[in-house]
Structure formats: structure tokens, C-alpha cells
Structure 1
Amino acid sequence: MTPNVTTLHLIIPDFFAYAVRSDSSLRLDTLATWLPKSLITPLPYSATANQLFWQLFNFPIETHLPVAPITYLHDYGTVQKDTTYLRADPVYLQADRDKLILFDVFSTHPPSTTETDALLNSLNTFYQPDGLQFYAATPNRWYIRLTQTPALNTTPLLDVIGRDIQAFMPTGTDKRQWCAILNEIQMLLHQHLVNQSRTEQRQPLINSLWFWGLGKLPPPPAPRWQYVWSNDPFVRGLATLSTVSQADVPNSIQSCIQQMTQQTGEYLLNLTPTQETDGSTRLTQIDKEWLLPLYQAVKQGKIQQIHLYFCDERVFSLNRQQIKHWWKWRKPWQTYAQTHFAQLPVSRLD
């Protein structure tokens, strides 16, 4: 990075896919101005958000990321040395003829604290002779701590939601053992009092766990960031590992801009394209309340450069000189969504 320069890396995972799904005719005026003036560069690594974050924190490319120890570090503030961690998140499996479709219970009816405690107590009692212990940092982030690392390849939960689990079951030398454990867990949860109560209340069952993110905590990477804003536990864990100053995403971009004008360096801001509000409302809010002030900050020279990522193998880079390119006319964001971005499967958006 050039000395005495302030650069912002702005990551909004799957923004265009959500926009297409929410309202394909939606007007996003800032993007219509921003994107045509940007330098579009292909990225040499995976389009997934976690892979992008991993690379941005100066880690080498890996097929299977150790997400579990990273998020565990964020949740608990520390990890045990030489301990392997595995995410074991609660899910709902629904039979559909000869398929088992996985659904994320957290987005609709997350387990309460009482339900979580009851399920964990049963799991830990059952698996105590085997030395397995389950932890729940939040209702949707559960863990298993292991003294040895099994030869196991897993698939991130987000990639399986809404799909038949058969093609995404664990692979590797130890897959038989862990598939057997998963079957035991499903039988235990199926008859649990928590699920009997959920059946009576017509809520989705918590009838399985999903194993993913296996690994040990890696050594800290080379420092890069002046500051990180994110609500994503993986990003926050990476920042903790890197000993980088960090915070939740603020309510307004103005506080971020003010901080960036006080000290040069590289900054990372991770926005979420959807919240509890209507999808179109949230996307319009990002365009007007976040992207527009950032565009103006570059135009005024407060920020020298912004790299905008949508986690689809490209980055849109914008600086003050490019903003002066008056001959590059506005184009609707739909042009870039259709040209540069593949729409996500419906299951990724529900």
C-alpha cells in the first residue's frame, strides 16, 4: 500500500443477488454512478465470502477453511493450544421423498436458551464416555472440541441450506465414524422432549447438527488493517487473531469516515445486504446512506481509494481521478448484475 494513503475495502456479500431477488427494477442511483467509473479487476480466488475474508487477512488460499476455531476465538476470546474445533450447528432436516433437505432453524425459530441447554445436556451426557463435549456460544453457533484432528472434509452450512444433504456429507478417511456419530445425534434429537414441544407448537424441529469448519487455530497473519468493522463472527475472529482494532458496524458511515480521515492506512468494512427489514428497503438504505457518503468522501479526497467487493470473483476499485471521468455515463446496476454476477441459488437467499 502507498504510504500516507487511506484505502477502504468494502465487502457486501451477494449484494446483486439479493437485489435481483428483492426487486429487479429497484433504482440504486449511487451504484449507477459508481460502477461505470470503477476499474473492474478479476480476483484470483473463490467467490465465497469466507474465502475472500481469509485472503484479505493475508492467509494463503485453502480449500477447507478452519472456520470453527476462528469463530470460537471471537465467541470466547481464547482457544486452547493444539485443540481442534468443529462447528456443530443445529439444523432442521425435512424428508422429501428420497431426499433430506436441510433448513436453517435459526432464521425462523431459533432454539431458546432453555432449549439449547436441554439439548446440550443430553448430548454431553450421551457422549461423555467418548470424550466429546458440545458447546453453544449462541443459539446458532455450536462447537465440539477435539484432542485429535480427524481426517474429515466438510461443507460450510451456508452452502447446504435448502439442499439435499447427501451430496454434502463429510468425506475423508474418518467419514464413516463421523457419519455414524451424526446418525446417533439425529436419533437422540428426534425423540427429545424439546422437539416434542416444538412439534406441538408447530415449529421446525432441531433434529440434526451440521458439522463443518474443522481445524486448529492458525498462526497470526502478517498485520494489514488499521481498523475492521463487521458483525460477522468469522471476520471478527480473524481480526482478533491479527490483533487488529475492531468494532460492530456502526449505525452510520459518518463515524467510519471520520476515523479514516484521522489516520492513513487500510480499513475493512463488511456490510450485510439483508436485515430484518424489507430487502428492497435495506438495499436502498445501503445505496443512499452508505455508498453515497463514501463516494462523496473519495470525491472530496478524504478517502483516496475504495475497493468494493460483492464476493463474486471481482473487485470494483474507485479513486478520485476515476470520478473525474465525466465521459463514463451512469449505467443501471442491473447491467453489472447481469454481466458480471451470477445469481445465487434460491436456497442461499431464504
Structure 2
Amino acid sequence: MTLWVPGLLHPQRVAQSEVELTKKITPVLRKLLSKADYHPRLERDFTEQACYLFHQTSVLPRAALSASILVPEAFQQAPDDFWLSVDPVQMIPDRDTLVLIPPSDLAISIVESQQLLQAFNQHFAEDGVELLFGGAEQWFMQIKQSIDLQSTRLTDVAYQSINQAYPRGNAATYWRQLINETQMLFYTHPVNVKRREQGLPEINSIWPWGEGTLQHQNIKQRIHAAIFADSAYLQGLALATGAESKRQVTQAKDWLSQASAGHNLVYLDTLAERIPSLQQNEWLSVVQDFETQWMQPLLAALHAGTIDSLFLDLGANQHFYLNARALKRFWRWNKNLRTLCE
């Protein structure tokens, strides 16, 4: 079983509360990590880490896998097409640049999103350009042939100047023009007129990213594995690899009651999304809940032989791997969490 919670044990967080963590909050977590084998954790983005943890030899494109879940009919008709995420965003002027605000901060309703998407499709119909609705915050574009375009991930450009982040490649000039024209189109749209009147942030631009064609020959099949997650990308990864896809679970007991016989990748979507915005006292409470809801049951499952092994990616500078044999390493004393996570 692989348990993935990005950022949970970020070394900076752990260092700030070393005393509290060592004294009372994490005895089982410290025991497990102290007896585990350590593997340095490399810096990877979400898609790179997902594919690494699910034993893929290459990184599968984000837009294509997400589209397979969010716009399944369109994807099934043309799974070999070139896919792009083209998400609605806000651009805020800042001196001689624009700063991008991601859709997650804009409280976009489904109706607003659909109206803007429809306006885009009507405006660019003669160009043969069409957006597909994957959700209030997620749009897609399907292109028959691959194009030379290298984008900047939305997560990397969020809250940043876009001057150095515009698309690159032979198709970059067209896409920059498309972004600029969309800004003019959306500025006068009734959705944004109403938002300005209400003091809400505008939805005044688009951002292309996650591009790529799904190369089926590069996909390692995992028919005896399972992914537990609500992430469209991870659900798409399960679909592409032939693995079982199940909704996210919030406690180990829920996973244990549904676990597949093979490798299980468990991603805690809701918790991972919350962690960056938590105050330190809130984070301590989350870690304590993680101790009781996950670490204690998983330790018991290892002892009982219910699970063979446990691989932990919790946002520390190390990955941790252990099995029942590792639990017998009596010579390994429990270390403090700061030392383990550095």
C-alpha cells in the first residue's frame, strides 16, 4: 500500500512544532518512520509524482487523463488526439505585467462557466476552435494533430507574473493571440459585468496547460492494482492502466474494508488541499488525527499481516518503506520527527 499526502510532514512545519510532536502527538508515526527504510524524495510536480508512485516509466499527460474522466464521451471518440487543459482564470494588471489568479480562488459557478465557454465557442467557431466543459473550473480542448506547444503548469504560474510563463513552441504565437482575444471577449461579457457590480473577481482570461497525447505504448498496465482518489487525473491514471478506481477514503479502516489484493495507491485529496492554508495549531490537530485514523490502524494491519508493506509519501524529504520484518528492528530507537523528515 502506498499512502500519499503531499505536504503533511513538510520539514518546516515539523521543525516549528518539534516539541509538541515528539511529546504526545505522534508516537506511532515516529515508530513506523524510525524503523522504515528511507529513500530520498526528489522534487516532482503532481503528475510526475503520481506516475512515479504508480510505477509508470514515463509521465502521462495531465489534460488527456483528466479529460478521460471529465469529458468521457469526447475522449472515448478520440483518445489519441492532442489534449489541452484551457482553464478559466483571472488576470490582474500589475505595473508592466499581468498576475494570474487560479480558478480555485474565483468561486466560479457552473452557470457562469458554461456561459463564458459558450461565448468562447461562438466567437471562435470560424477558426474551428472549441472548448469542452469538464467542470466549473476545468475546460479542455481537443486537437486532431499534435502541436508544438510547451506550457507552464497552472500551479506554477498561479499568483505570479505571466511575462515569462506564456506558451512556447511553434504554436505559441497563435495561443498568445488567442489568450489576448479571449480577454477582450470576456471583459464585456455579462458574467463579468455582473461580477464587477457585485465586487467579485472577474473571470477574464484562459490558461492553456497540461498538453499532450496519450502514448499508449508507454503505459504500464496495472490490472491487479487500485487507486483510491477523487482527483480526475488519478482516476484517469487508473483507467489508462487498467487498475481499479475507487473514491477517496478518509480513514484507514475504510480503505482496509475495500482494499484490493494488489498494490493500492491511496491519495487523500481533501486533506492535501487543506494543508497549505492551515494555521500551525490546525496542522497539529490534523497530524494528531492522522496518527489515530491512519497510523495506528496501519501498524496493526502490518502486525497482523493484513498488508504486506507500506510506502509513505507525506511531504518529508524522505519516502519511507516498511514491512512486518522492519517492525522487528528493535535496535532502531524512535527518533524525533524533525530528524526523520529532514
TM-score range, shorter chain: 0.7 to 0.9
Is this contact kept in 2: 1:19–1:283, CA < 8 A? Answer: no
For 2:11 and 2:43, locate their aligned partners in 1 and report how far apart those are by CA, in whole Å.
19
Q: Provide the residue aligned with 1:344 in structure 2.
A: none
Query: What are the residue-to-residue correspondences of 1:164-203 with 2, within 5 Å?
Result: 164-203=161-200
Q: 1:103 to 1:18 in 2, by over 3 A?
A: farther
Q: Secondary structure at the match of 1:132?
A: coil
Match of 1:67 among 48, 56, 62: 62
Greater Cα shift, 13-22 or 130-139:
13-22
Alignment deviations for residues 312-340 of structure 1 (CA, whole Å, 9 cap, x no partner): 77421011122222332333333344x2x
For 1:275 and 1:257, locate their aligned partners in 2 and report how far apart those are by CA, in whole Å.
23
Q: Cα offset for 1:19?
A: 7.4
Determine whether 1:222 maps to 2:217.
no
Amino acid of the structure 2 residue aligned with 1:222: Q
For 1:135 and 1:22, locate their aligned partners in 2 and report how far apart those are by CA, in whole Å.
45
Q: Provide the residue aligned with 1:35 in structure 2.
A: 33
Q: Provide the residue aligned with 1:305 in structure 2.
A: 309
Q: Cα offset for 1:251?
A: 3.8
Q: Provide the residue aligned with 1:270 in structure 2.
A: 267
For 2:313 and 2:185, locate their aligned partners in 1 and report how far apart those are by CA, in whole Å.
43
For 2:11 and 2:123, locate their aligned partners in 1 and report how far apart those are by CA, in whole Å.
42
For 1:325 and 1:21, locate their aligned partners in 2 and report how far apart those are by CA, in whole Å.
25
Q: Provide the residue aligned with 1:83 in structure 2.
A: 81
Q: Cα offset for 1:246?
A: 1.4
Determine whether 1:253 maps to 2:252.
yes
Q: Provide the residue aligned with 1:101 in structure 2.
A: 99
Amino acid of the structure 1 residue aligned with 2:236: G
What number of residue pairs does the alignment pair up?
325
Q: Secondary structure at the match of 1:41?
A: strand
> Which consecutive residues of structure 1, in runs of 5 or more, have no partner in the other structure?
1-7, 340-350
Q: Cα offset for 1:252?
A: 2.8
Amino acid of the structure 1 residue aligned with 2:293: E
Alignment deviations for residues 105-138 of structure 1 (CA, whole Å, 9 cap, x no partner): 32x3321122112101110011100101112211
Determine whether 1:317 maps to 2:300.
no
Structure number with higher helix proportion: 2
TM-score, normalised to structure 2, is 0.86
Is this contact kept in 2: 1:115–1:194, CA < 8 A? Answer: yes
Q: Cα offset for 1:60?
A: 2.8
Q: 1:213 to 1:189 in 2, by over 3 A?
A: same
Q: Secondary structure at the match of 1:223?
A: coil
Alignment deviations for residues 294-314 of structure 1 (CA, whole Å, 9 cap, x no partner): 122112222121011236774
Q: Cα offset for 1:225?
A: 4.3
Determine whether 1:15 maps to 2:8.
yes
Determine whether 1:141 maps to 2:145.
no
Q: Cα offset for 1:86?
A: 0.7
Amino acid of the structure 2 residue aligned with 1:246: S
For 1:61 and 1:173, locate their aligned partners in 2 and report how far apart those are by CA, in whole Å.
24
Is this contact kept in 1: 2:2–2:53, CA < 8 A? Answer: no
Amino acid of the structure 2 residue aligned with 1:304: D
Q: Cα offset for 1:207?
A: 1.4
Is this contact kept in 1: 2:9–2:316, CA < 8 A? Answer: no
For 1:198 and 1:218, locate their aligned partners in 2 and report how far apart those are by CA, in whole Å.
41
Q: Provide the residue aligned with 1:345 in structure 2.
A: none
Query: What are the residue-to-residue correspondences of 1:334-349 with 2, within 5 Å?
Result: 334-337=338-341, 339=342
Amino acid of the structure 1 residue aligned with 2:37: L
Is this contact kept in 1: 2:183–2:205, CA < 8 A? Answer: yes
Q: 1:301 to 1:21 in 2, by over 3 A?
A: closer
Amino acid of the structure 2 residue aligned with 1:303: I
Q: 1:271 to 1:125 in 2, by over 3 A?
A: same
Greater Cα shift, 225-234 or 15-24:
15-24
Q: Secondary structure at the match of 1:317?
A: strand
Q: Cα offset for 1:180?
A: 1.0
Alignment deviations for residues 114-164 of structure 1 (CA, whole Å, 9 cap, x no partner): 211210111001110010111221111111111222100012211221221
Q: Provide the residue aligned with 1:209 in structure 2.
A: 206
Q: 1:232 to 1:225 in 2, by over 3 A?
A: farther
TM-score, normalised to structure 1, is 0.84
Alignment root-mean-square deviation, CA: 2.5
Q: Secondary structure at the match of 1:166?
A: coil
